[in-house]
Amino acid sequence: MARSYVHEARRRVGPKRERIGPIIERLAAEHPDATIALRFRHDLELLVSVMLSAQTTDVNVNRVTERLFEKYRRPEDYLAVQPEELEDDIRATGFFRQKAKAIRGTMKLLVEEYDGRVPDRLEDLLRLPGVARKTANVVVAERGEAQGIVVDTHVRRLSQRLGLTRKDDPVKIERDLQRLVPRPDWNRFPHLLIWHGRRVCIARNPRCESCVLNDLCPASRVTVGTVASHTRA
């Protein structure tokens, strides 16, 4: 029964390669303000902000970094204080001991091997302690041309609901999306899904009736007749 429903839903919305263009266009029109919510002034602040954002909200990170970035301006500043002091300064972001250890390890490597600068290449960013692929992708994308596609909880959930991937592992989801999303859209595509996930395609109660993608989404709860009325040219 479930398989039959899923098959029928996918047949109704059409192949994903035909849908990806309209999906991006509609989301871009619906969320023209879809950009990173973290506040930063340069590459080092961007890197630290993204590292702190794990398991907490961007609003919370911005609240913490407003003071943090006045105190810590260079990699050396993070290494000049005792670990406990840095832990206290980032305590409100949660998991502060692990984050402080990762930040200090990253700053040490930046000083020793990168002249105190945040490296450009994804491969180099992944060498930094506490910097996983998602963090590295965010940093690279915000600095210019994306080398991958950021996959967070919103991107994973919406990609699955839209039938763009059947995978659950973020790395495998990213590979599926890279094959599907045109490279010029790699920067903005995650932001579009993230903001749509926050505003419309909410985890527990998606607002399918007001979603601009309801006729392109196999998981839509809107009936066929209603979908027709929402379809855009």
Catalytic positions: 134, 152
Q: How far is CA 125 from CA 12, 61, 135, 187, 193, in A?
A: 42, 21, 9, 17, 24
Q: How far is CA 193 from CA 118, 159, 196, 213, 219, in A?
A: 27, 8, 5, 11, 15
Cα(3)–Cα(23) distance, rounded to whole angstroms?
24
What is the length of the chain? 233
Closest CA to 133 of 171, 160, 167: 171
Secondary structure (3-state) at 74: coil
**113 Cβ neighbours under 8 A, 6+ residues apart:** none
CB-based contact 129:102 (threshold 8 Å):
yes
Cα(203)–Cα(116) distance, rounded to whole angstroms?
40
CB-based contact 229:210 (threshold 8 Å):
no
DSSP per-residue string spanning 7-18: HHHHHHH--HHH
Structure token digits, residue 196: 């749509």
